[in-house]
Structures are given as structure tokens and as C-alpha cells.
Amino acid sequence: MDVDIWTFTILLSCFLISYMILKLIIGSSKTNNSNLNLPPGPRKLPLIGNLHLLAFSHTPHRILRDLATKYGPIILLQLGEISTIVVSSPETAKQVMKTHDLVFASRPSLLTPEIICYGNTAIAFTPYGAYWRQLRKLCTLELLSTKRVNTFRPIREEEFLNLCNQIASNVGSTINLTEMVGLTAYDITSRATLGKKTGEQAKFISMIREVIKYMGGMHIADVYPSIKMFRWISGLKIKLQKLHKITDGIIGNIIIEHKLHAKSITDHENKEHHEDLLDVLLKLQESGLELPLTTDNIKSVLVETFSAGNETSGTTFIWAMSEMLKNPKILENAQNEVRHVFDGKGYVEESGLDELKYIKAVVKEALRLHPPLPLLLPRESRERCKIDGYEIPAKTRVLVNAWAINRDPKYWKDAESFKPERFLDDNISVDYKGNDFKYIPFGAGRRICPGLAFGLANVELPIAMLLYHFDWILPNEMKPEDVDMTEAFGVTVRTKTDLYAIPVVTRPLPINSN
């Protein structure tokens, strides 16, 4: 949650302007909740409330964990105009995402998704209601179902093999794993979503990477929504509108190309043709859904799939690789496993990944210690409700500190250590589906991540392939304990520095794989 210094300074000066003070005072008296039994929390400052506690932090999940240690598992913060509760224990998370899931099934309206995703019409930031329900159903049954994700298997295998070939041609040199794997993930999403690679697609990828820079963090406009001037003051709105105009033009062209192509292909070609997500969305649009799916709605979902999908899986891959490079014994165990399973074939196939119990445990453990969205996505209460005996008024913003929960020593033995073995223990059978609230990297309840299968496939396969074909050496005689695990907050919490390593080929790549 990063409010840049420039905007924050402007904010403070602006508070000197009397009409604003007046407006805020009137605003706060309108929502006077002093008679309610509200959750505890730190003392608020006039006008900004508790904003100063998070405004300059690059690791808000850590600050919020420290506050929870002091005030308890449910705390109330005043972030500018926004009353926000933060829950930090499995029990309170369960109350938000299971017991009262329907009450907390909405999302607040935030500036970036509002502009980039056509007025919040993608799934993640759409408020709860009939439109979200329809979109979510399409997403679960059609777009991101396990069956659909499996149809993209050949794309994943081909693209990650291309990556391995690229790495093999750089053997002995230091490579930037973060960048190389990140770009491959974009290529995969791009082909799965929009079909075969085109120039327009490459432009779209580079624009989405630009958009993502603005997606993370807490913007001043989102904590003072009634003061419209903050939307303009930082220049953010103008930047976003410019980017939106460009992405809209590119995606518009891609949709036109798709429609023309669909008309021109013969019956024979049709049978050979692999449906991409845009094909599916266009078919659904034609099919006459209960609520019409407009072309802008389709564009919105495409933008979201690109942005939500890539960063989360890319981030998870890098955390898992960083942890293994930091813990050579774990890297060796994972390599032994994948080589034992695939040595007969000489290459890794996605269909064999289920045999990689240890590597799956490595990914699970990486997601426990480093959930890419440590505070999940913010929710908003739709009506008044009680949690742990405390009143939560309607329209309260809710953050679930999954990062703190996933490493709570009350529930996890040796909680801060990277130990994949803990997930091999039959007594710890937590899954990704948000059934056990002590482990929620994908969230839980109605708003749980629908891209789970898509995301995991893009993490497990490259790990298996990169560990099968290559040994990895740290550059510049770096020691394992020096691998940088500093976090950087953005659209996801990723490693602050890119991960570099030197590959050594140990299992040759399949000959006809170029």
C-alpha cells in the first residue's frame, strides 16, 4: 500500500483548505458510529485517521500483523474516509468468508480497476449482484474450469520448452529468471486467451505490463472517494485513461480479427481449431445470456485475465525458486524427484505432474510463506453484521491478512521456516480450496480465486522442467543464505530484486524441440 510522497504532501496541504476540512467533518459526523461496539484499533489522527501507519509502507501486511498482535485478530482502522477492518486469525477469517460470506461478498470501487476494467465490469472488482454471479458462473464453468485449463496443456508444454531451449543457449551465463519466466507466462496467457501470436498481441502484452505498474498499492483517491479532486491531483487518472484508451484500441482490433477469422474458417479447419478464451466469450455473447454480455464486458474480462493471471503465478514461481536456491537440500530433493519420475522419458510431461508430490509441496509451502496477494483482495460489507461480538457497519472495507494467518505460530509448527515436508505429513491435509482457514493463499468462499487451476499449472510445470534439465548455480559466488528475500509491494508482493542464476544442462532437451 504505497501512497507516494508527492501525493501525500499534497494531501496534507490540501487539508489546510477550509472547505475540505468542513466537508470531512460533516462527512464524519454523518457516519458517527460511536455508540456501536466497534473492534479495537490504534488511536486515530484528525482527518487522516490511521492512514499514516500504512501510507509509506512497502509491507503493509507486516504492519497489520504487528497491529493484530497488539489489538487482537480483528481491528478497526480509519484509512482516510474509509472504515476498514482487518482480520488476522483463521477464526475471524472464517467468519468473514464462510459464516457471513454473503454479507462480505462485495468489493469496494477502486480507481484503477474502475478505469482500466470498463467501470469495474471484470470479475474481481465487480460489486456483488446478478452481473457478478453470471460472470463468475461463466468463469467457473467455461473459462477457467479444469477441463478448459487442460485444453491449454500443449501451449504450456510448448512455451516452457521454448523457454528451456532459450536457457540452454545461455548455459554458463547468468540469466534473469524473473524476466524470462515472466515473459513466457505472458506468452502462454496470450495464446490461451487470444489464440496464435500476432503483433497486436505483443503490443497488448507490453501495455498490460504498463497497466500493472499502477494496479498495486493504495491510492489517495481510494481512501478519500468523496473528494473527487484527488482523482486528478496525482495525475493518476489521466495516466490510467491514456493507457485504457490504448489497450481498448488494441483489444478492439483483436476482437475484430477474431470475428473475421471465425467467419472465414472452413468446417475442416473448424475441427482442428483450438478454442481460445476470446472464442468462448464471443460464443457466449451470441448465445443470449440472461444478462447481455457486451463487447466492453468481454474486453474487461480479457484485461483482467491477463493482469490477474500472470503476475500471481510468475510471483509464486520466483518465490518457490528463490526458497529452493536458498535451501540447497530442498532443491536437491526436488531435483531427485523430478529426475526419478521423468528419466525414463527424457523430458517432463504435464500429465505426469501428479507424481511430483515433493514439488507440489514446495509450491504449497511457497504459497504459505509468500502468498502473492497477502491481503487477498479487499471486500466490502453489504449490510451491518457482527464478528466476534463487534459491530461491523454496512459499507466497511475488509482486509484479510492471509500472509499473517498462513504463518501464525499458533497453527504452524516452525512457522517462519520453509519446510515443504510439512505438507507430506498425512495429518496436514490442507488444500487450496479455502476449506481450512489457516491456509488461504487463494482466498475462500464465494470470492475465492477462480483461476486456481490455471495459475498452478503455470507454476508447477516450469519448476519441474527447469529442475529436470538444469542444475542451478548462484552468480558471483553468492552463498545460498544471501539470496535476497526482500519483499516489494505492487500488484502482488514479489521479490524486490529479480532472481538471477546460472544454468548447467544435466538432461539434454528433446532434439526436435526447437
In the three-class reduction of DSSP (H, G, I as helix; E, B as strand; rest coil), residue 506 is classed as coil
- Answer yes or no whether residue 448 interacts with ligand HEM by CB under 6 A: yes
Among 51, 115, 240, 373, binds ligand HEM (CB under 6 A): 373
CA 194/CA 123 separation, integer angstroms: 18
Among 182, 195, 450, 503, binds ligand HEM (CB under 6 A): 450
Helix axes 295-326, 199-212, angle to 10 degrees: 70
In the three-class reduction of DSSP (H, G, I as helix; E, B as strand; rest coil), residue 162 is classed as helix
Looking at the Cβ atoms of 293 and 459, the one nearer to ligand HEM is 459
Question: Shortest gap between Cβ of 40 and ligand HEM (angstroms)?
Answer: 24
CA 345/CA 334 separation, integer angstroms: 18
Question: Shortest gap between Cβ of 30 and ligand HEM (angstroms)?
Answer: 29
The secondary structure of 384-437 as a DSSP string is -EEETTEEE-TT-EEEE-HHHHHT-TTTSTTTTS--GGGGTSTT----SSSSST
For the four alpha carbons of 294, 295, 298 and 300, in that order, the dihedral sign comes to negative
Looking at the Cβ atoms of 79 and 93, the one nearer to ligand HEM is 93
Amino acid type, 81: E
Question: Shortest gap between Cβ of 388 and ligand HEM (angstroms)?
Answer: 19
Q: Which residues are annotated as a binding site for heme?
A: 449
Looking at the Cβ atoms of 214 and 454, the one nearer to ligand HEM is 454
Stretch that binds ligand HEM, among 36-44, 278-286, 415-423, 451-459 (CB under 6 A): 451-459
Looking at the Cβ atoms of 38 and 302, the one nearer to ligand HEM is 302
Structural contact between residues 7 and 220, judged by C-beta atoms closer than 8 angstroms: yes
Stretch that binds ligand HEM, among 26-34, 71-79, 237-245, 373-381 (CB under 6 A): 373-381
Among 73, 443, 462, 503, binds ligand HEM (CB under 6 A): 443
> Scanning residues 114 to 153, which ones bind ligand HEM (CB under 6 A)?
123-124, 136, 144
Looking at the Cβ atoms of 368 and 447, the one nearer to ligand HEM is 447
Question: Shortest gap between Cβ of 448 and ligand HEM (angstroms)?
Answer: 5
Question: Shortest gap between Cβ of 151 and ligand HEM (angstroms)?
Answer: 14
Instruction: Cell numbers for 128, please give them.
Output: 456483488
CA 498/CA 514 separation, integer angstroms: 27
Question: Shortest gap between Cβ of 179 and ligand HEM (angstroms)?
Answer: 18
Among 51, 376, 404, 474, binds ligand HEM (CB under 6 A): 376
Looking at the Cβ atoms of 338 and 444, the one nearer to ligand HEM is 444
Which segments of 88-234 are extended strands (E)?
175-176
Distance between first and last Cα of the chain: 43
Q: Which residues are annotated as a binding site?
A: 449
Among 39, 49, 182, 451, binds ligand HEM (CB under 6 A): 451
DSSP assignment letter at 175: E
Report the DSSP beta bridge partners of residue 289: none
> Scanning residues 220 to 249, which ones bind ligand HEM (CB under 6 A)?
none
> Scanning residues 280 to 319, which ones bind ligand HEM (CB under 6 A)?
304-305, 308-309, 312-313, 316
CA 363/CA 352 separation, integer angstroms: 16
Place of cell 503493509: 60
- Burial class of residue 262 (count of CB atoms within 10 Å of its CB; 0-12, 13-18, 19+): middle
Among 186, 342, 439, 442, binds ligand HEM (CB under 6 A): 442
Question: Shortest gap between Cβ of 100 and ligand HEM (angstroms)?
Answer: 13
Among 447, 469, 494, 507, binds ligand HEM (CB under 6 A): 447
- Answer yes or no whether residue 441 interacts with ligand HEM by CB under 6 A: yes
Question: Shortest gap between Cβ of 401 and ligand HEM (angstroms)?
Answer: 12
Looking at the Cβ atoms of 195 and 451, the one nearer to ligand HEM is 451
- Answer yes or no whether residue 108 interacts with ligand HEM by CB under 6 A: no
Structural contact between residues 40 and 75, judged by C-beta atoms closer than 8 angstroms: yes
Instruction: State phi, psi for 296 to the nearest 5 degrees.
Output: -65, -35
Looking at the Cβ atoms of 332 and 431, the one nearer to ligand HEM is 431
Question: Shortest gap between Cβ of 328 and ligand HEM (angstroms)?
Answer: 25
> 383 to each of 102, 448, 449, how far by Cα in Å?
10, 20, 23
CA 202/CA 187 separation, integer angstroms: 9
Question: Shortest gap between Cβ of 457 and ligand HEM (angstroms)?
Answer: 9
- Closest by CA position to 250, among listed 199, 301, 214: 199
Looking at the Cβ atoms of 104 and 390, the one nearer to ligand HEM is 104
> Scanning residues 454 to 473, which ones bind ligand HEM (CB under 6 A)?
454-455, 459
Question: Shortest gap between Cβ of 135 and ligand HEM (angstroms)?
Answer: 8
Site size for ligand HEM (CB under 6 A) = 27
Among 246, 262, 280, 377, binds ligand HEM (CB under 6 A): 377
Instruction: Cell numbers for 363, please give them.
Output: 509450491
Place of cell 518465490: 319
Looking at the Cβ atoms of 228 and 433, the one nearer to ligand HEM is 433
Cα 161 to the chain's mean position, in Å? Answer: 25
**Helix, strand, coil abundance in the chain, percent, nearest 5:** 55, 10, 35
CA 268/CA 406 separation, integer angstroms: 51
- Residues found near ligand HEM in the complex (CB under 6 A): 123-124, 136, 144, 304-305, 308-309, 312-313, 316, 372-373, 376-377, 441-444, 447-451, 454-455, 459
